[in-house]
């Protein structure tokens, strides 16, 4: 009599990934590369992440990461929403070396930000929509986008300082107000 052998485990059920129309399930997934495509009719009105996945032959996670980090342009405009619907005939472009949207915004602000700077004062052009200082109830991304933080970063880069440049806020304007502000060098004590 032979000993009983355990039954072989049943194979796991096959889960079918929902493929967009026109996707070739046999196409290999490859690392993201720069490229330019036109949306074909079979991808009309599909979400952008699905279209990028099919056209660039990348994984879902790579497609979403490319979109969220500002590497995908639809019709010459950076699009960061993976759920945006694409239309037949629209151009889609992947630029791996494109800067992130927040980097573009920061660079634009930097070029317009500092009007005058010397060893004791910094005169700054504050745009509307930017808080002068953090108030403590913002999320970390908003705190990093305050005028105070941006000026410190600009000065640190310009003067090649490690860390943030010392800066003293002398005055402030409301978030919705634009104007010129004076900041003082924060490394020396303030006396009247």
> 101-185 — its CATH code?
3.30.70
Q: Are 56 and 72 spatial neighbours (Cβ–Cβ below 8 Å)?
A: no
Every domain of the chain and the residues it spans: 35-94, 101-185
| Gyration radius from the chain CA atoms | 26
Read off the pLDDT of residues 18-41 as tens digits, 9 standing for 90 and up.
444 444 555 567 788 899 999 999
Determine whether 154 is exposed, middle or buried from the number of CB atoms within 10 Å of its CB (0-12, 13-18, 19+): buried
> What CATH class has 35-94?
alpha beta
- Alpha carbon distances (Å) from 136 to 23, 151, 167, 174: 48, 18, 18, 15
Q: What is the pTM of this model?
A: 0.53
Does the structure show a pLDDT above 80 at 57? yes
Q: Which residue has the higher pLDDT, 119 or 60?
A: 60
Beta bridge partners of 72: 94
């Amino acid at each position: 009599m032979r000993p009983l052998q355990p039954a072989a485990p049943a194979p796991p059920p096959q889960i079918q990934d929902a493929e967009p129309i026109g996707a070739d399930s046999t196409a290999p997934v490859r690392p993201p590369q720069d490229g330019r495509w036109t949306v074909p009719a079979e991808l009309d009105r599909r979400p952008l992440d699905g279209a990028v996945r099919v056209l660039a032959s990348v994984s879902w996670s790579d497609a979403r990461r490319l979109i969220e980090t500002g590497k995908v342009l639809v019709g010459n405009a950076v699009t960061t929403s993976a759920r945006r619907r694409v239309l037949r005939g629209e151009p889609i472009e992947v630029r791996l070396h494109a800067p992130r949207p927040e980097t573009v915004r920061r660079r634009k602000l930097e070029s317009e930000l500092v009007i005058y700077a010397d060893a004791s004062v910094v005169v700054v052009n504050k745009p509307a929509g930017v808080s002068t200082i953090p108030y403590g109830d913002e999320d970390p991304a908003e705190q990093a986008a305050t005028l105070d933080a941006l000026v410190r970063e600009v000065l640190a880069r310009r003067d090649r300082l490690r860390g943030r440049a010392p800066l003293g806020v002398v005055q402030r304007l409301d978030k919705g107000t634009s104007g010129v502000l004076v900041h003082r060098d924060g490394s020396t004590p303030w006396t009247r």
